[in-house]
Amino acid sequence: MKPPRKLHIKSYGCQMNVYDAQRMVDTLTGEGFVETTSADDADLVILNTCHIREKASEKVYSELGRLRAAKAEAAQNGRQMSIAVAGCVAQAEGEEIIRRAPVVDVVVGPQSYHHLPQLLARANSDGRAIETEFPLQDKFGFLPPPRPDAIRARGISSFVTVQEGCDKFCTFCVVPYTRGAEVSRPVKRIIDDVMRLADNGVREITLIGQNVNAYHGEGPDGQSWPLGKLLHRLAEIPGIVRLRYSTSHPRDVDDSLLEAHRDVPALMPFVHLPVQSGSDRILAAMNRKHTAGDYRKTIDRFRAVRQDIAFSSDFIVGFPGETEEDFSATLALVAQIGYAGAYSFKYSPRPGTPAADIKETVSAQDMDKRLVRLQELIDSQQSAFNMAAIGNTVDVLFERAARNPGQIVGRTAYLQPAHVMASPDIISQVLPVRIESLERYSLLGELAAPAHAGRPASSHMTHGA
């Protein structure tokens, strides 16, 4: 029997890439690959790249420099190492990658991962293989058969893709170009995936998509289903105790989503709702299609249906034309909303996007200063949010043994890690924890009620209970 070939995948960027990496592993496991944690002894190294900001996309080239040495050393030892570049840099730069880094054997865009085995074979015979096409509709207007995108269950919490691509065209963003037009998966396929994951022990599902609340997949009734209706349906699947979704666009928050937050207890009260800026002038230049006031109203609509809901967001500082006054409007919005956490980035012009043609006006020093000021405000809000948990009893879904012996770690509704001393039997259960202290970003506490091994999250529990 041939020894298994070793595969190492390094993922950068968003949750979709994490999910895609798992899908690539599943595809290649079927071809006799096993995963390895080190690139140096791998027969195939895949860099699953991110193009969202320049820093992210330049990382791939420094990594390829390192891999060139590893590949040469493998060759000296009579071993072949193949190198593939996947993800959004592959999609955006295609052949250019091989021109800049001839060490690369395969370039594969996000729509083509199911072709990896054939692409590797082609690279073996022809020296190189590149596939970065979006599957186009054929001349009758039919899309090709849906690609196999379900993944094998791993652990307690799993991502499931429900839509891909984005039609919003924010002027700074590469996503509409690297991930293509917005496409939603049919409801039936999502239900099948979630049922299978639940049967394999998954208790929490995060529905992912670049613009997840633009979801409009075909339902079993032939109608187009909004995200809220999908969430209602998925909550009925035995074994699923928590649902989340990410990433949302403020413009696509509809009544069905708010109703789901009101009526579906499994839907966690924590929403990532990027706003990018608090200035209407900058929001217009970004083509966000909403004002700061619209965003505030949307937050209020969520809070009206569920008081304990918390928000996180994304911000860009230093967009071309951003004045001190515009930036102050961002700080004012953050102060007014009160976030449980947020990501903030310096504007990075991306080739091919409309904003890349606008003259940059904010100096590097001012951008740095604004980023620090914004991050200080967000950090203080995040600390206050975490501190507020101390003394409370909160539900925790336990996921795995922690690094400290005897400790089990899980997550609260707001994704805060929470540690308790307990038996591993509690893994996969949702249990109340009395929070006693906060250590950096982790909550420490004690089980509030004695766990008993038979306490299932539902009658259908097949794993860990």
Q: Provide the minimum distance between the beta carbon of 396 and ligand SF4 in the complex, in angstroms, as a whole number.
A: 31
Cβ closer to ligand SF4: 169 or 343? 169
Give the Å distances, CA to CA, from 134 to 21, 109, 229, 249, 418. 19, 8, 29, 24, 42
Residue 166: contacted member of ligand SF4, ligand 5AD, none (CB under 5 to 8 Å, by partner type):
ligand SF4
Q: Provide the minimum distance between the beta carbon of 173 and ligand 5AD in the complex, in angstroms, as a whole number.
A: 5
Cβ closer to ligand 5AD: 50 or 119? 50
**List of residues contacting ligand 5AD (CB under 6 A):** 52-53, 172-173, 274, 276, 314, 316, 345, 347-348, 350
146 burial (CB, 10 Å; 0-12 / 13-18 / 19+) is exposed
Q: Provide the minimum distance between the beta carbon of 46 and ligand 5AD in the complex, in angstroms, as a whole number.
A: 22
Give the Å distances, CA to CA, from 84 to 36, 48, 63, 89, 364. 15, 8, 12, 12, 34
Q: Provide the minimum distance between the beta carbon of 140 and ligand SF4 in the complex, in angstroms, as a whole number.
A: 29
Residues contacting 317, CB < 8 A, separation 6+ = 327, 330, 344, 345, 346, 347, 362, 367, 370, 371, 374
CA angle in degrees (0–180, nearest 5) for 221-222-228: 70
Residues contacting 149, CB < 8 A, separation 6+ = 23, 161, 185
Q: Provide the minimum distance between the beta carbon of 318 and ligand 5AD in the complex, in angstroms, as a whole number.
A: 9
148 burial (CB, 10 Å; 0-12 / 13-18 / 19+) is exposed
Q: Provide the minimum distance between the beta carbon of 51 and ligand 5AD in the complex, in angstroms, as a whole number.
A: 9
Residue 211: contacted member of ligand SF4, ligand 5AD, none (CB under 5 to 8 Å, by partner type):
ligand SF4
Cβ closer to ligand 5AD: 53 or 419? 53
Residue 299: contacted member of ligand 5AD, ligand SF4, none (CB under 5 to 8 Å, by partner type):
none
Q: Which residue is nearest to ligand 5AD (CB)?
A: 314
Cβ closer to ligand SF4: 92 or 101? 92
For residue 251, what are its two tokens?
């413009």
Cβ closer to ligand SF4: 182 or 193? 182
Residue 107: contacted member of ligand 5AD, ligand SF4, none (CB under 5 to 8 Å, by partner type):
none
Taken in order 432, 438, 439, 441, is the CA torsion positive or negative? positive
Cβ closer to ligand 5AD: 121 or 364? 364
Residue 316: contacted member of ligand 5AD, ligand SF4, none (CB under 5 to 8 Å, by partner type):
ligand 5AD
**List of residues contacting ligand SF4 (CB under 6 A):** 166, 168-170, 173, 175-176, 210-211, 249
User: For the range 406-414, what are the long-range contacts, defined as Cβ-Cβ under 8 Å and sequence gap of 24 or more?
Assistant: 409/442, 411/157, 412/443, 413/242, 413/268, 413/269, 413/270, 413/308, 414/268, 414/269, 414/270, 414/310, 414/340, 414/385
User: For the range 92-97, what are the long-range contacts, defined as Cβ-Cβ under 8 Å and sequence gap of 24 or more?
Assistant: 92/51, 92/57, 92/174, 92/177, 92/178, 92/351, 92/352, 94/130, 94/132, 95/130, 97/60
Q: Provide the minimum distance between the beta carbon of 349 and ligand SF4 in the complex, in angstroms, as a whole number.
A: 14
Residue 176: contacted member of ligand SF4, ligand 5AD, none (CB under 5 to 8 Å, by partner type):
ligand SF4
Cβ closer to ligand 5AD: 348 or 383? 348
Q: Provide the minimum distance between the beta carbon of 182 and ligand SF4 in the complex, in angstroms, as a whole number.
A: 9
Cβ closer to ligand 5AD: 225 or 315? 315
Q: Give residue 232's identity as a one-letter amino acid code.
A: H
Residue 367: contacted member of ligand SF4, ligand 5AD, none (CB under 5 to 8 Å, by partner type):
none
Q: Give residue 134's identity as a one-letter amino acid code.
A: F
Q: Provide the minimum distance between the beta carbon of 8 and ligand SF4 in the complex, in angstroms, as a whole number.
A: 28
Cβ closer to ligand SF4: 52 or 107? 52
Q: Provide the minimum distance between the beta carbon of 168 and ligand SF4 in the complex, in angstroms, as a whole number.
A: 4
Report the relative pairing of strands 129-131 and 106-108 from DSSP bridges: parallel
Please give the span between the terminal C-alpha atoms of the chain, in angstroms, as a whole number.
Answer: 38
Cβ closer to ligand 5AD: 16 or 402? 16
Residue 52: contacted member of ligand SF4, ligand 5AD, none (CB under 5 to 8 Å, by partner type):
ligand 5AD
Residue 210: contacted member of ligand 5AD, ligand SF4, none (CB under 5 to 8 Å, by partner type):
ligand SF4
Q: Provide the minimum distance between the beta carbon of 171 and ligand SF4 in the complex, in angstroms, as a whole number.
A: 9
Residue 348: contacted member of ligand 5AD, ligand SF4, none (CB under 5 to 8 Å, by partner type):
ligand 5AD
